[in-house]
Amino acid sequence: MSIPVTRLGKTGLKVSRLALGTMTFGTQTPEDVAQAIMNKAVDAGLTFFDTADSYPAGRASPGLTEEIVGRWLKTRRSSVILATKGFGKVGPNPWDGGSSRKHLLDAIDGSLKRLQTDYVDLYQLHHYDAATPLEESLEALDTIVKSGRARYVGVCNFFAYRVAQAQGLSALKNLARVVSVQPRYNLLFREIERELLPCCLEEGIGVIPYNPLAGGLLTGKHKRDSGPAQGSRYALNSDAGTQYRERYWKDRELDTVDAFVRLAAEAGVSPVTLSVAWVLANPAITAPIVGASRPEQLDLSFAAATYKLDPALKEKLDALTVEYRRGDAAR
């Protein structure tokens, strides 16, 4: 299997049609397994890796995930397109987080040290920082690009109007433009279809969505009566586990998943493959972020990169989940 490549937005950068998420490296995924996962990904042609300085999620001392990736990357740097993020709290001081110039310039240096490289291909603001003027953050990102520490810059978890603000400020100030957005997107969370995805299509911004399986709920492995599968994100006794349960573990979502799993069975395709293929079918999408706690789990996600989603089946999936497109205010 060879995963296709595509352009990142309207840049000249070619990336694999899937990206590898690393958020669990160091918690659910021990380092030896993480190494095997990265090896398997590259062997299959998945060469776009995404990490963050605040990973692994739920760990009191962040940075371990980047260290794990860095030890693998040390002899494989030319094999991957590497993305990381800054924003999260990574130290005890009040300035050790957010998107201030002070923090971002410190954060990129910390990430490069942990990743054992002198540059990343894509450096992203992990969240919008209401306490810092957006112009200050964009100027810091421009400094990072001009210094050679990142080739491109992007944002994560930004509303469409914030992305538009960033584009306008970058054009006005002649700063490095945002080339990608990383939002949450799956069959149970479709709100970004209303404004963010059309904005990205019009502006030529790449979209690298995370959570295409809704944290694993769309796999069908979780059962309403018995509760979350042991060892899964939903079973974690942590802030991350609580967040997933609050987002998705509801009667309506569980009913939808039951119906979705039946449609996948009728079509003779794994729910994993179908979930990721549905995300890929949106023309705004560049590369969904997929992950695994074991290397063999990646095969079903890999299959989505070349799976031909029947238009009639896509229509059924769209109709089944249309309520998740409207947003909480309309429910």
306 is written with which tokens? 């070349």
Question: In whole angstroms, what is the distance from residue 193 CA to residue 328 CA?
Answer: 14
Q: Which residues are catalytic?
A: 55
Helix axes 101-115, 134-146, angle to 10 degrees: 40
DSSP-derived letter for residue 89 is -
Q: 14-16 and 5-7: which strand pairing? A: antiparallel
Q: How many CB atoms lie within 10 A of CB 203?
A: 17
**Where do the DSSP E strands lie in 142-287?**
150-156, 178-182, 206-207
Closest CA to 34 of 17, 51, 18: 51
Question: In whole angstroms, what is the distance from residue 39 CA to residue 43 CA?
Answer: 6
